[in-house]
């Protein structure tokens, strides 16, 4: 693809607003990362460095910035092997301990079974160098924690934790109403609970069920030492670099979501939100998880600290 065609594709995406996405592939996901709204690039402070040379030492400064980076694509889908990110489907095929999925059923027509099950995959966002170049047009960019195409959580391999809710079904967060919930009971806008962080939930709205599954998966991978089969999606802090920490539901300061399918959006939000919600025909949803990073350019050998505006 020529440079002109790449730029044309990026501009077309940014002008498109929210559009329908019948299928999602790597090229579409990569283009979706060119979103100024999700990036939210800001100058937030000043860093101080001690630089020493032959003629003595001096204190130099550099600008401290903050922006969001698309660390991962989080898919939440009904049937195993049905990841809506087409190229990644082979990562989560059925195995002897994980098959099927979907909603609960009942043999009574007058009954409404509200039980839903969502598989979930957290895979490194493919934008990589394309996003770094895009963010760099604003000045310079901070490195995110995600590695493109790296599987951080595949629920098909997390059978005990994701399918049987063990041991989290007996955690206080899972047993006490009002604890770690996505939304609010008082505002009558409760989408679901974070715990137990598995695929089972009771929900009438399939989109909300997909969002809850994604939030649970994101909650797991952004923490260390969780009772699940996964890899932490975390970077280590260093001089002049402050990476994102644990994802917290409803708190944009810890991360936000960009819908990829069934509607492709160029904006980000947290759950719950009031944006239009399209129900996926096959119960398959995907979001990009954007998380905040701060950094400053190195201007000396010793980092002395920083001041935020």
pLDDT tens-place string over residues 207-244: 999 999 999 999 999 999 999 999 999 999 999 999 99
pLDDT recorded at residue 96: 86
Residue 304 has pLDDT above 80, yes or no: yes
pLDDT in tens, 158-187: 999 999 999 999 999 999 999 999 998 888
Per-residue pLDDT, averaged over 21-50, amounts to 93
Residue 301 has pLDDT above 70, yes or no: yes
- The domain locations on the chain are 15-42+69-297
Residue 198 has pLDDT above 70, yes or no: yes
* Nearest residue to 217 (alpha-carbon basis) of 22, 81, 77, 90: 77
pLDDT in tens, 49-88: 999 999 999 999 999 999 999 999 999 999 999 999 999 9
* Nearest residue to 234 (alpha-carbon basis) of 11, 72, 3: 72
pLDDT in tens, 98-142: 776 666 554 555 545 678 999 999 999 999 999 999 999 999 999
For residue 31, name the pLDDT band (cuts at 50, 70, 90): very high
Q: Report percent pLDDT > 90 for the chain.
A: 80
pLDDT recorded at residue 62: 97
Out of 34-38, 223-227, 272-276, least confident range: 272-276
pLDDT recorded at residue 85: 97
pLDDT recorded at residue 185: 85
pLDDT recorded at residue 102: 62
Per-residue pLDDT, averaged over 19-25, amounts to 63
pLDDT recorded at residue 202: 92
């Amino acid at each position: 693809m020529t440079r002109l065609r790449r730029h044309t594709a990026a501009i077309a995406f940014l002008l498109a607003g929210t559009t329908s996405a019948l299928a999602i592939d790597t090229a579409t996901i990569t283009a979706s990362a060119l979103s100024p709204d999700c990036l939210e690039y800001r100058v937030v402070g000043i860093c101080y460095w001690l630089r020493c040379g032959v003629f003595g030492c001096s204190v130099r400064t550099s600008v401290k910035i903050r922006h969001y980076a698309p660390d991962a694509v989080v898919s939440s889908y009904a049937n195993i092997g049905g990841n809506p990110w087409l190229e990644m489907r082979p990562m989560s095929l059925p195995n002897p301990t994980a098959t099927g999925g979907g909603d609960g059923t009942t043999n009574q027509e007058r009954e409404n079974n509200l039980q839903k099950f969502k598989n979930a995959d957290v895979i490194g966002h493919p934008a990589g160098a394309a996003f770094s170049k895009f963010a760099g047009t604003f000045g310079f960019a901070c490195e995110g924690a995600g590695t493109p195409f790296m599987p951080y959580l595949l629920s098909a391999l997390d059978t005990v934790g994701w399918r049987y809710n063990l041991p989290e079904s007996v955690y206080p967060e899972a047993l006490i109403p009002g604890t770690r919930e996505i939304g609010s009971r008082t505002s009558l806008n409760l989408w679901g609970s974070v715990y137990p962080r598995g695929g089972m939930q009771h929900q009438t709205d399939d989109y909300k069920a997909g969002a809850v599954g994604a939030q649970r998966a994101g909650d797991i991978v952004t923490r260390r030492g969780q009772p699940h089969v996964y890899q932490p999606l975390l970077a280590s802090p260093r001089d002049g670099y402050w990476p994102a920490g644990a994802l917290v539901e409803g708190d944009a300061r810890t991360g936000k979501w960009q819908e990829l399918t069934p509607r492709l959006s160029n904006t980000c939000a947290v759950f719950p939100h009031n944006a239009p919600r399209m129900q996926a025909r096959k119960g398959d949803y995907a979001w990009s998880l954007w998380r905040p990073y701060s950094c400053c350019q190195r201007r000396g050998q010793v980092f002395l600290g920083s001041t935020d505006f």
